[in-house]
Amino acid sequence: MTRFKRIVLAALATTATLGVSSTASAADFICQPTPGACTFDGTTGGIVQTIAKDTTSTDRFYFTVATAGDFLFNWTTTSLSLFSASFDGGSAFAPVFGQNYSFSVASAGTYFLEVTSQNGTTHNASFVTSADFAAVPEPAVWGMMIGGFGLAGLTLRASRRKAAALA
């Protein structure tokens, strides 16, 4: 299933689950590959959060990864103001819609994205955040790749020498 389809399914599930919307001012979400406010399968997913009218909300979304790598987040919304976001307790920043934000993690574990948003409109509004994760190859993988390239080069060189000797 593509990332877009997952985000749309998550949005529909959230709307159906919340009905009109939740007026809670803070919530924690565990991201899993099942539809909900937050989905994440270890490499891709997203957040679809609906904020009730005239409400400010701070929500925390937890992502679990099996290896070191880089997270990439991108926000889209209509009608909402995103005051701040922070990754795993780091420095807060004001997200700009459509801009990518990258965060490196040094090891496997659970990390969180905290988002504070305000809906100053007269109707419920949502924001969507795509979440992608690219694993960084471990040193053993790099060693195997370099060794493989070396063996391929030696094989190519040997076959050229054999062809030159036969000619």
pLDDT digits (tens, 9 = 90+) for 79-116: 888 889 999 999 999 998 889 999 999 999 999 999 99
Q: What's the first-to-final CA gap in the chain, in angstroms?
A: 54
For residues 129 and 37, is the Cβ–Cβ distance under 8 A? no
Q: Name the nearest CA neighbour of 52 among 87, 8, 14.
A: 14
Q: Name the nearest CA neighbour of 39 among 16, 11, 75.
A: 11
- State the pLDDT confidence band at 32, using cuts at 50, 70 and 90: confident
pLDDT of residue 120: 87
> Which two three-digit tokens encode residue 70?
């880089």
Lowest mean pLDDT among 18-27, 42-51, 60-69, 97-106: 18-27
pLDDT at 52 over 50: yes
- State the pLDDT confidence band at 159, using cuts at 50, 70 and 90: confident
98 DSSP assignment? T
pLDDT at 24 over 90: no
pTM score of the predicted model = 0.68
| Mean of pLDDT over the chain | 81
Q: How far apart are CA 92 and CA 103, in angstroms?
A: 13
Q: Name the nearest CA neighbour of 103 among 138, 74, 75, 73.
A: 73
For residues 18 and 93, is the Cβ–Cβ distance under 8 A? no
pLDDT of residue 149: 82
Reported as type and span, the H/E element at residue 111 is strand 109-119
> Which two three-digit tokens encode residue 3?
């990332």
pLDDT of residue 58: 93
Token match 């391929």: residue? 152
Q: Name the nearest CA neighbour of 128 among 24, 26, 34, 15.
A: 15
- DSSP H helical segments within 92-138, as ranges? none
> Which two three-digit tokens encode residue 160?
């050229």
